[in-house]
Amino acid sequence: MRRWQPAPVADRRSRVLADWVGHVGSPDFGQAVLDGMQDLLPAASWSVYRVGAAPRLFLSASRGVPDTTHDCWRAYLSGPHRRDRSLPTGAAAARAPLLCHLTAGEVSAEHRAKVYEAHGMAERISVAEAQADGTVFAVNFYRHGHQRAFTDTALDDFGALALPLLALVRRHTVLAAQLPAGPPAAGFDARLQQVCPALTVRERAVCVRLLQGMTQDGIAADLALAVPTVKTYRNRAFARLGIHSRHELHARLA
């Protein structure tokens, strides 16, 4: 039998990757990825989303700036996503993931105004993969206006980590979907069922997120619904509960 200590990880990319692996499936995975990327690619925010049929924002985090990711997502879905030519499309694109680097000046005027300029973003590097069903799964890192432009070395580092990061993100989304709802969400949902059994699943889902402090835009992105639909569920739930505000919702469950 032989025993010995593993060699310390000297390469920066390997150290970052090892740290990410340790956070897969945990609630802090999104922030851990962004924080770990800083020495290689100093981005202020990142996101993971699917566009095409049933668009969905899976992950996001920000560092040193307000987290407006859900607002950006809603703005992107308001029209710019239909004309976003930076993401892979078509049967040929499904053969392998693709890297894409662009600056705010290279996107359409609508995209630039609604997403980049409105939220202070200046540059994006992505790894995206077209799926057989026509959707696109994308991992994106954003430089904001107060930061220096990404260097060629930083882009090379991202390229070297892109495929393992894509695999880790995919695994994390699967694990996160399998985790049972924990407090306070589960507690809120159970209490809502007890207080008002007439509430539908969607009405409870909206109320739970209101109780967790989410905005209507955030709820819409989280549940893959339109904002007016969220408002409809909220209004119906409030009517069933006999209340008129988020404050009264909290009081009703006290």
pLDDT of residue 5: 67
Tell me the C-alpha to C-alpha distance, in Å, between residue 157 and each of 98, 161, 168: 15, 6, 17
pLDDT of residue 23: 86
148: its two tokens: 């220096």
Please report, as a single letter, which amino acid is at residue 122. A
Backbone angles phi, psi at 229, to 5 degrees: -65, -40
pLDDT of residue 232: 95
pLDDT of residue 218: 77
Q: For residue 172, how many other CB atoms are within 10 A of its CB?
A: 21
Please identify every stretch of the chain with a pLDDT value under 50, giving residue numbers as ranges.
9, 92, 181-183
Backbone angles phi, psi at 104, to 5 degrees: -55, -30
Q: CA 183, 185, 190: angle at the middle one, nearest 5?
A: 95
Please report, as a single letter, which amino acid is at residue 55. P
H helix runs in 95-241, sequence order: 109-111, 152-178, 185-195, 201-211, 216-223, 227-241
pLDDT of residue 251: 84
pLDDT of residue 12: 86
pLDDT of residue 219: 85
Residues 39-91 pLDDT 10s: 999 999 999 999 888 888 898 889 998 888 888 998 998 889 888 888 876 55
Contacts of 116 (CB under 8 A, 6+ apart): 104, 107, 122
**How close are the terminal C-alpha atoms of the chain, in Å?**
61
- Strands (DSSP E) found in the chain: 45-51, 56-62, 98-103, 121-130, 136-144
